[in-house]
Amino acid sequence: MPTDSMASPHQTSREFVITRTFDAPRKLVFKAFAEAEAFAQWWGPKGFAIQVSRFEFRPGGIVHYQMVHPGGHDMWGRFIYREILEPERIVWINSFSDPAGNLARAPFDMMVPLEILNTVLLEERDGKTMLTLRANPINATAEERATFDDMFESMEQGYGGTWDQLAAYLAKVQASA
């Protein structure tokens, strides 16, 4: 059974951290992660449509989704939730997958770690929500860790686009309330 890699002399990866403040209450931001219909409207890279095939928002639950690009380049991903503490903390292992939900290599780089542990913390401040995401590879080889370390700029751009989509989703929900 795989175990988390703890800090050791062989672990060289830095932790990826990105923070964003949303003009929305924490409960609403949490709900955007917790409901399949909401998740499909904002998760993933800009330009991709998300089709959720399985959504079990609970510890031990799985989210399995397809990222569909208009140009025809599709990818699959999955979350396996470890911890959910409403409305402040969500912990999951993020991976690429095949259409059946099995663990798969990233289609764009074979050295991307197979599993990345993500922790999202949500803090409410004056009616706004500060989201902090922390990511670390687990069960990764030294080569995969080095690739992860080299991906920070790309991850900042990717999550930046994802957070832009989340901000637009939250604004739309609040405007219709």
The residue extents of the domains of the chain are: 16-46+82-96+110-175
Identify the three-state secondary structure at position 129.
strand
- Domain 16-46+82-96+110-175 listed as CATH 3.40.50.1980: no
Pairing of strands 115-125, 16-22: unpaired
| Alpha-carbon span 167 to 53, nearest angstrom | 24
Mean predicted confidence (pLDDT) in 82-98 = 98
CB 84 within 8 Å of CB 57:
yes
**Comparison of pLDDT for 73 and 12, the residue scoring more:** 73
Residues 6+ apart with CB under 8 A from 8: none
Has residue 25 got a pLDDT over 90?
A: yes
When pLDDT is cut at 50, 70 and 90, the band that residue 13 belongs to is low
Neighbours of 110 (CB within 10 A): 10
For 156, what's the count of Cα atoms within 13 Å in the CB-facing half-sphere? 7
Mean predicted confidence (pLDDT) in 65-70 = 93
Percent of the chain with pLDDT over 70: 93
- Kindly report the pTM of this predicted structure: 0.90
Give the residue from 58, 102, 59, 57 showing the smallest Cα distance to 78: 102
Percent of the chain with pLDDT over 90: 84
Residues 6+ apart with CB under 8 A from 134: 15, 16, 17, 118, 119, 121
Mean predicted confidence (pLDDT) in 151-163 = 95
